[in-house]
């Protein structure tokens, strides 16, 4: 990358981020888990959930809106539902605790669910569904966020950007993975446009009066729009029901009411479902993985690309050449490591 000031490998970037988070007061368990997720975003060219998120984590810590050291608690009643109580800490350590039990239970029953409750959540969902695909399982993950999206036909924020991710394991390479907000774009993208002084594409947002806007600041003050009109609005509502109301946790409106701001990371729950394709296909003709490969080949044969293909290409490039950081990004990491919580207001 031409303007790269430095390149780091995944482990080195993770160490740098971990040091900043520990300096900010996070326990080693949480600093490590968070650092891996953030470094993975940067490695994979998923900038909206890369190092720019560190400041938000520190702000949330400084405001006392996340537990720096709660130890996640796994609750297993032997059923197909595994629950991890995060105790108000960030979500990645809770997910890491629950995933081996989820995988084991999905292999036994064909389908199992992991519920995360009471977690502070800001991360992308693809690392989670990929972790399950690495275990040979298909996976779905979904969670609310905080109310920043107007339902179709409405004008006021009510739904979250509510991400939805899916992974399907492939025999000879990285899994098929998609992961997107159910809003037209993730809120992180709006913030990145604001920081870069770039207008938003048409159709992403409305201002406080409900009028269409391409001004990121007006969009942040107004509301984002769901993707795909009524279809995205309904899928987002489903996320609120399944990964909020159903699991006994907050919806996006509840999360915003509790937090009172969108400048800190929200607290809510998450639902992750894991499926064993072999168990579902048992007794039926055909091999589900071969059928999947045939479908992917047909998609590619039309000149289309698979979701995550760009991300996996970015990962390969980072693994070969290192993760490139600009001078501004290096300066930001230096500042955060030197000042800790004093770096954020």
Please tell me the distance from the alpha carbon of residue 104 to that of residue 336, in angstroms, as a whole number: 40
Strand-pair partners of 120: 90, 267
Burial 167-193 (b: 16+ CB within 10 A, else e): bbbbeeebbbbebbbbbbbbbbbbbbb
82 binds ligand PYC (CB under 6 A): no
Please identify, among the stretches 25-33, 168-176, 183-191, 333-341, the one whose residues bind ligand PYC according to the rule CB under 6 A: 183-191
Please identify, among the stretches 180-188, 272-280, 283-291, 319-327, the one whose residues bind ligand PYC according to the rule CB under 6 A: 180-188
Helix (H, G, I), strand (E, B) or coil at 121: coil
Partner whose footprint covers residue 126, from ligand PYC, ligand NDP, none (CB < 5 to 8 Å by kind): ligand NDP
Comparing CA positions, the residue from 183, 203, 187, 205 lying closest to residue 195 is 187
* Site mask for ligand PYC (CB under 6 A), range 23-62, x = bound: -------------------------x--------------
The residue within the footprint of ligand PYC, chosen from 187, 193, 268, 311 (CB under 6 A), is 187
Please tell me the distance from the alpha carbon of residue 203 to that of residue 25, in angstroms, as a whole number: 40
Comparing CA positions, the residue from 134, 164, 162 lying closest to residue 150 is 162
Please identify, among the stretches 20-28, 179-187, 280-288, 310-318, the one whose residues bind ligand PYC according to the rule CB under 6 A: 179-187
Please identify, among the stretches 182-190, 225-233, 310-318, 320-328, the one whose residues bind ligand PYC according to the rule CB under 6 A: 182-190
Contacts with ligand NDP, residue ranges (CB under 6 A): 46, 48-49, 121-126, 143, 145, 161, 163, 165, 178-181, 185-186, 189, 305, 307-311
Nearer to ligand PYC, 161 or 276 (CB): 161
Sheet-wide strand order for 205-206: 212-213, 205-206, 223-224
Please tell me the distance from the alpha carbon of residue 41 to that of residue 23, in angstroms, as a whole number: 21
Total residues at the site for ligand PYC (CB under 6 A)?
8
Please tell me the distance from the alpha carbon of residue 76 to that of residue 322, in angstroms, as a whole number: 40
In angstroms, what is the minimal distance from the CB of 293 to ligand PYC?
32
Comparing CA positions, the residue from 147, 152, 114, 95 lying closest to residue 266 is 147
Catalytic residue among 42, 128, 130, 189: 189
Nearer to ligand NDP, 173 or 286 (CB): 173
Q: How far is CA 139 from each of CA 177, 263, 272, rounded to the nearest angstrom?
A: 9, 30, 7
In angstroms, what is the minimal distance from the CB of 135 to ligand PYC?
25
Query: DSSP readout, 216-274?
Result: HHHHHHSEE-BTTTHHHHHHHHHHHIIIIITTTS--HHHHHHHH--SSS--EEEEEEEE
> Any catalytic annotation for residue 48?
yes
Query: Residue of minimal CB distance from ligand NDP?
Result: 124
The residue within the footprint of ligand PYC, chosen from 52, 122, 164, 166 (CB under 6 A), is 122
Catalytic residue among 15, 27, 48, 104: 48
The residue within the footprint of ligand PYC, chosen from 145, 182, 252, 308 (CB under 6 A), is 145
Nearer to ligand PYC, 48 or 309 (CB): 48
Strand-pair partners of 272: 114, 141
Q: Which residues are catalytic?
A: 48-49, 189
Residues found near ligand PYC in the complex (CB under 6 A): 48, 122, 145, 161, 181, 186-188
């Amino acid at each position: 990358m031409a303007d790269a000031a430095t390149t780091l490998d995944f482990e080195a970037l993770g160490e740098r981020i971990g040091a900043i988070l520990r300096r900010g007061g996070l326990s080693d368990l949480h600093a490590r888990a968070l650092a891996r997720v953030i470094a993975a975003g940067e490695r994979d060219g998923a900038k909206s959930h890369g190092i720019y998120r560190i400041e938000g984590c520190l702000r949330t810590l400084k405001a006392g809106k996340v537990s720096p050291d709660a130890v996640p608690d796994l609750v297993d009643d032997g059923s197909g539902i595994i629950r991890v109580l995060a105790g108000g800490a960030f979500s990645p350590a809770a997910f890491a605790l629950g995933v081996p039990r989820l995988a084991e239970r999905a292999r036994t029953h064909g389908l199992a669910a992991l519920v995360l409750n009471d977690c502070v959540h800001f991360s992308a969902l693809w690392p989670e569904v990929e972790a399950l695909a690495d275990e040979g399982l298909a996976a779905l993950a979904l969670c609310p966020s905080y109310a920043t999206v107007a339902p179709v036909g409405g004008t006021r924020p009510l739904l979250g950007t509510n991400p939805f991710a899916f992974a399907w394991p492939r025999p000879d390479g990285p899994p098929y993975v998609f992961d997107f907000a159910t809003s037209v774009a993730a809120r992180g993208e709006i913030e990145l446009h604001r920081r870069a002084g770039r207008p938003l594409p048409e159709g992403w947002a409305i201002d406080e009066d409900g009028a269409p806007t391409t001004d990121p600041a007006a969009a942040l003050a107004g509301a984002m729009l769901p993707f795909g009109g009524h279809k995205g609005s309904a899928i987002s509502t489903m996320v609120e029901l399944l990964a909020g109301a159903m699991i006994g946790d907050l919806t996006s409106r509840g999360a915003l009411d509790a937090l009172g701001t969108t400048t800190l990371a929200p607290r809510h729950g998450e639902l992750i479902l894991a499926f064993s394709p072999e168990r579902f296909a048992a007794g039926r003709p055909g091999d589900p993985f071969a059928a999947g490969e045939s479908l992917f080949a047909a998609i590619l044969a039309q000149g289309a690309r698979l979701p995550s293909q760009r991300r996996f290409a970015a990962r390969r490039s980072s693994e070969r050449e290192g993760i490139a950081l600009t001078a501004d990004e290096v300066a930001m990491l230096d500042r955060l490591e030197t000042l800790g919580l004093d770096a954020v207001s």
